[in-house]
Structure 1
Amino acid sequence: MVYVYFEHQVASLCGVHCLNTLLQGSYFTAVDLANVAHELDEKERDVMLQAGVDSSDFIKFAAEGSGNVADDGFYSVQVLEKALSSFNLTCTSINNKENADVIANPLKENGFMCNLQQHWFTLRKIEGKWFDVNSLKKQPTFLSDFYVSLYLETLRQQGWSIFVVRGDYPAIIPFSTAELGKWVDVDPTVSKPPTSQQQQQPNRSMVDLEEFDPDLEEALKLSLKYSDDNEAYRPMNQRRNDSNEPYTLIEVDEYEQIIDDDEDEDLKLAIEASLNQS
């Protein structure tokens, strides 16, 4: 088992949950990030003031309010980036030219933050294993190495912004103080297969890529220009060379589609209400 720090979604505080699950501990609160957002707002205000209080740019800036924190507690990437800098960690988009190596082989990294509209979640490597740590899900999910590569590429294709976080992460201490969350033991050898209900909903993202055929796995790696030095990946299986069976790739829909069906109903309603505020 691998112990993973996890936080359930509260209001629109996914930015807090994303940072804490990335760092694997209760490091930040909503108040902490609100203070960071306020600091960034003041710096932006000072810059805008240079054009004069009567300038159209400043008037527009003042009227729009904070661009770093929303009334419901959603934080901008600038806030998360600033918070990470206190740990000497950097946060950059994988679409930047200097991060071409990340797209080629994301498995060499230690963590990613993913954002679409009003939601943040984490992909984190712990003890050499990858986990999808999403506060809207019931618990962290183990991801195979191949799943990580395909999942990130699928997210990119569907408009998610993905940021690679680099630097010396703080040491993970299982069962340390977990004021905002809990420690969950996850079996890193078993991927949870989709339920029948999930299979009936093509927009679900929880697809077990370990169930894919070897030749599909190989074809997808080639199509994504995937590269790594793991010799464990088996070559394309010739037994399906003559098969015309169609394949369906995973579909990653917007984050509200991945709330587990057996979660508390009140939590579902609270999450949906916070998401609708966008």
Structure 2
Amino acid sequence: MDDEERIRMAESGIDSDEYRRFMQQPSGNMDDSGYFSVQVISSALEVWGLELVPYNSTESLALEAQKRPETMAAYICHYRDHWFTIRKLGHQWFNLNSLLSGPELISDTYLAMFLAQLQQEGYSIFVVQGSIPACTADEILRMRPAVQPSKLAPPKQPVKPPENQDSELEKAIKLSLGQEIEVEEEEVDDDDELQAALRLSLQEDGPDPALEKALQLSLQVDHPIQPGMRKYDWNIITIDY
């Protein structure tokens, strides 16, 4: 295709500005991504005796396709360097878009709506004119029609509790935290009062070595042993009165 265009452009002279600009431009028929122009696809289909007719044209085949799209053999769709085919295999229509995970079964009723949707999205649609060569898939589907597998249901959205329920839960948590703080403060106050009472008792009754040692160990339950203090084994302490 590029060679044919180059020959036509050279007819006006290889020294012309148009020819030089043409030679400097990249190919408009294909690129490294695998894209082919409609001219290349049309030329490839001519080998099989097939032609492409624009779906929106006023040709008789296009007008018939607009009225009864299910009577055609295939459609080729193009949008932004992407091509895909909608073809009848057996007695069923299939969307053969390579962007899908597999062939998509299309009913005769949905075919017209699907083509209209593609037009709204900006696709260029061509009707394939001619007798498409038979293939193995076509023969098998004539005897055993395909069944479209059920699509997976969309994931369920997490249920959000009502706003009033959130506020009540927040109040309950704050109230619970407040009660815990008050209880801790009361325990601290009780410990201070107990320590003061024990010290006062020791001052009034005089020092008793055994009792004083036991009381000191008792006071160390909620207070860590400071450096320099002696560590006792709580399991062997006994006090005789």
Q: Indicate which of 126, 130, 138 corresponds to 2:89.
A: 126
Distance 2:138 2:111 in 1: 26
Q: CA distance change for structure 1 residues 143 and 155 in 2, over 3 Å: closer, same or farther?
A: same
Task: Give the structure, 1 or 2, with the largest relative contact order (CA under 8 Å, sep 6 or more).
Answer: 1
Output one character per residue of 1:99-132: Cα deviation in whole Å (capped at 9) or x when no partner. 2221222111010111101211110111111111
Partner SS for 1:196: coil
**Structure 1 position 92 matched with structure 2 position 50:** no
Partner SS for 1:101: helix
The residue aligned with 2:27 is 66
TM-score of the two chains, using structure 1 as the length reference: 0.50
Worse-matched range after superposition: 104-113 or 46-55: 46-55
Q: Which runs of 4+ in 1 moved over 6 A?
A: none
Letter of the 2:9 counterpart: M
Partner SS for 2:53: strand
Q: CA distance change for structure 1 residues 77 and 194 in 2, over 3 Å: closer, same or farther?
A: farther
Distance 1:126 1:134 in 2: 15
Distance 1:85 1:70 in 2: 22
The residue aligned with 1:113 is 76
- Measure how far apart 1:189 and its partner are: 4.5
Residues 29 and 40 in structure 2, CA contact (< 8 A), matched pair in contact too = yes
Distance 2:90 2:137 in 1: 12
Partner SS for 2:126: strand
Letter of the 1:67 counterpart: G
Output one character per residue of 1:173-196: Cα deviation in whole Å (capped at 9) or x when no partner. 2499xxxxxx9xx96454644641
- Measure how far apart 1:65 and its partner are: 2.1
**Structure 1 position 49 matched with structure 2 position 10:** yes
1:1-278 equivalences in 2 (<5 Å): 40-98=1-59, 99-174=62-137, 188-190=146-148, 192-193=150-151, 195-196=153-154
Residues 142 and 191 in structure 1, CA contact (< 8 A), matched pair in contact too = no
- Measure how far apart 1:54 and its partner are: 2.7
Residues 52 and 126 in structure 2, CA contact (< 8 A), matched pair in contact too = yes
Q: % of aligned pairs identical?
A: 34
Which 5+ residue runs of structure 1 have no aligned equivalent? 1-39, 177-182, 198-278
The residue aligned with 1:216 is none
TM-score of the two chains, using structure 2 as the length reference: 0.57
Q: CA distance change for structure 1 residues 187 and 45 in 2, over 3 Å: closer, same or farther?
A: same
Partner SS for 1:123: strand
Letter of the 1:107 counterpart: E
The residue aligned with 1:15 is none
Output one character per residue of 1:33-87: Cα deviation in whole Å (capped at 9) or x when no partner. xxxxxxx111111111112223232122111121111122211111111111111
Residues 141 and 191 in structure 1, CA contact (< 8 A), matched pair in contact too = no
Distance 1:143 1:90 in 2: 23
RMSD: 2.4
Letter of the 1:196 counterpart: P
Distance 2:90 2:43 in 1: 26
Residues 89 and 138 in structure 2, CA contact (< 8 A), matched pair in contact too = no
Distance 2:132 2:64 in 1: 20
Residues 29 and 36 in structure 2, CA contact (< 8 A), matched pair in contact too = yes
Residues 112 and 163 in structure 1, CA contact (< 8 A), matched pair in contact too = yes
Which 5+ residue runs of structure 2 have no aligned equivalent? 156-241
Partner SS for 1:69: coil
Higher Cα radius of gyration: 2
Residues 50 and 132 in structure 2, CA contact (< 8 A), matched pair in contact too = yes
Number of matched residues? 150
Distance 2:36 2:101 in 1: 23
Q: CA distance change for structure 1 residues 64 and 195 in 2, over 3 Å: closer, same or farther?
A: farther
